Structures are given as C-alpha cells and as structure tokens.
Structure 1
Amino acid sequence: MPARRLRLGASMLTVVLASLLLSCSGSPDTAVNDSESPSHGVVHKAASAPATEQPIPSSTAEPEPAVEKVRDAFAGLQATYNDGCTTEGNCEYFLGRVLDELTGLDESMKVDPQGPGHFEEPLAWIAALRAELGDDSSFANLKRHQGLLTGTRDKINAWMQGHPEDYR
C-alpha cells in the first residue's frame, strides 16, 4: 500500500511540475503580441499534458442526482393536466411526459422516509401500468394505452388528494 501511494504522489508531482514548466515557457505561439491586445498583458494558451501522463484524480466527484421529493414529483404529474392530445405532435410529447412523471413519482415514493408501504396503492397502479406497457415506450404503444396511462395518473391524483401531508 505505501509503495502505491508513493507512485501516485510521484505521478502527481510530475504532472504538476510539467504543467508549471509548460505554462512558463515563452514560445512565440503561446503569447499574444502586446500590439494585438494593448489593454492586456501577455496571455498564454493552456498546454495539454503529454499522453503518457496519468490524469490527476479529482477529489470533487459530482454527486449522484438526488431523487425528487414526493411532493415535487407529484407537482410535475399534476402539471400534465394542463396538456393533452390536442394535436398529433403534442400527443406524443404529452403521453411521454405522463409516463416520465409517473416514473419519477414511482422512484420518489420508493425512497420516501415513510417507506414504500405508505404508497402501496399508487406503486401498485404504476407497476400494473409498467406490466401492461412492457419495455415499449414508443408513441404507438403509449397511444394504444392512453386510457390506462391517464387513468393511472388520475387514480394517483385522487389518492394523493386524500393524503395532503405527502405533497404540502
């Protein structure tokens, strides 16, 4: 283990030193002529590290995106009531959005602190919808199951209205 740390430390030191040396080199193609940019000093282009060097590991990895709270996911689902299958292009968007909002709500209910048992009925309705749709989220399949899709949304909306503590 100590030898691995020593190699990693040496690699990082090499990268840092190489970066410093490259940024301090004054080759003509890395500087902007003062006559071209009179209000600014010398500007150097960033130099890339040679391909043989290992990248420096990032200590600030991006966190996993958090699952929405149930109330936020439910608000997205409720927003679908302002839309519909009024035109062919809009219908495809609308049905896809209802499915996406139901998927997000499903995920939120499963990780909610109250536990999935609290949301037993809505989760069962979403599971039944998924079983009926299968893996096919094409517009043709969503259109064929439009009644089930909007019906599931409507049942969940009614259930949530009876549980205002979950979305306020």
Structure 2
Amino acid sequence: MINLRARHTLGAPTLVVALASLLLSCSGSPGTASGDAASPVRDVRKTAQAAAADEPPAPSTAEPTPGVEKVRDVFARLQATYNDGCTTPGNCEYFLGRVLDELSSLDESMKADPQGPGHFKEPLAWIAKLRAELGGDRSFENLKKHQALLTGTRDRINTWMQGHPEDYR
C-alpha cells in the first residue's frame, strides 16, 4: 500500500512512477507479465479488433451521395422562385431558366436521396414529363412556350413537398 502522504516527501515524478508500476503489475493475470502475448485481456482485444475489421461499414442513411445537394436545400431554392417571374423580357428568360435549373437539381437530389427515388415517385415523374416536353431545348423561346408546364411542375412539386415536411425540414 502506498502512503498518499508520501507525495510530499517522494515528489510528484516519483509518485507517478510508483503508481504506474503498481497499475502495470496489477493489469496482468496471475502468473503472466503484462506484456505477455498470452494475456486474456490482449486476446479479447485482438478478437474484438478482428471482428470489427471483418465487418463492412454500415451504409449511411443520413446523407445523400457525396457531391449531391440535399433535397431540402434544392427545394428551398425552388421555393425562392416564387418571388420572381416574367415581369420583363430579360427577367423572364432568367426566371424560366432558373426554374428549370432548380427542377433539374431537385431531380438529381431526389434520385440520390437515401430514401431512394421510389419515395419521390410523383415529383420525379412530373420532372421527367417536363423534360420530355422540352425535348432538350433550353432556348428561351422553348421555355416561354412551355412556361405553364414549367411553373405548373414547380407548383405541383411544391404542393407535394408541403405534404412531406420530413423531406425539407
């Protein structure tokens, strides 16, 4: 037994060495040295480490695919288009292009979301229909021609998302 009052006479470094020696001598099982490879503690550690190394990491369900934005972030930008519109010719071109860009980003985010594209079946179908109607033509004339479908798709997705607040909060 170490006398705790001895720290005054032994000094802190000596006390630390004495305590460390005491702990090391107690850490092994009877008849084995703490550095012995047959230590039961070491065997348990090795077994636990080996089991952990053999298991593949569990997939994350909290984050989308790296490099793809979260649905809620893209949806927030899509909602921001409600503060804009086709008030002037130059602004109309910007506005319609922005709505299309946000819908395209939302499509990508929904497909990469951990819930899977099946969870977003309806919005993805509406975006696919919009793409088919546009036929890959992003010109202002084509976007203007399909303005009702473009803003209508945005509005339908907004309504759908309002019914699924867990997807954007």
**Paired position in structure 1 for 2:49:** none
Q: How does 1:103-122 map to 2 (within 5 A)?
A: 103-122=104-123
Task: Tell me the secondary structure at the aligned position of residue 160 of structure 1.
Answer: helix
The alpha carbon displacement at 1:65 in A equals 7.1
- The letter of the residue matching 1:88 is P
Q: TM-score, normalised by structure 2?
A: 0.61
Specify which structure has the higher proportion of helix. Answer: 2
Letter in 2 for 1:66: G
How high is the TM-score relative to the length of structure 1?
0.61
Q: 1:117 to 1:65 in 2, by over 3 A?
A: closer
Distance 2:147 2:98 in 1: 12
Post-superposition shift, 1:135?
1.2
C-alpha distance in structure 2 between counterparts of 1:149 and 1:104, whole Å: 14
1:100 corresponds to which residue?
A: 101
Deviations 1:27-76 (A, max 9, x none): xxxxxxxxxxxxxxxxxxxxxxxxxxxxxxxxxxxxx9711100001001
Q: Which amino acid aligns with 1:157?
A: N
Hey, which bits of structure 1, 4+ residues long, moved more than 3 A? Answer: none
Amino acid at match of 1:67: V
Pairs within 5 Å for 1:13-162: 66-162=67-163
1:155 alignment partner AA: R
In the alignment, structure 2 segments of 5+ residues that lack a partner are: 1-64
SS of match in other structure, 2:124? helix
Amino acid at match of 1:143: K
Residue identity opposite 1:137 in structure 2? R
Which amino acid in structure 1 is aligned with residue 166 of structure 2? E
Identity of aligned residues (%): 84
- The one-letter code sitting in structure 1 at the alignment partner of 2:145 is R
- Which amino acid in 1 is paired with 2:83? N
Number of equivalenced pairs: 105
2:155 is aligned with 1:163: no
The separation in 1 between residues aligned to 2:129 and 2:87, in whole angstroms, is: 26
1:72-105 deviations in Å (ceiling 9; x for gaps): 0100100000000000000000000000000000
Q: Secondary structure at the match of 1:68?
A: coil
> Would the alpha carbon gap of residues 123 and 81 (structure 1) be closer, same or farther in structure 2, given more than 3 Å must change?
same
Separation in 2 of the partners of 1:80 and 1:143? 16
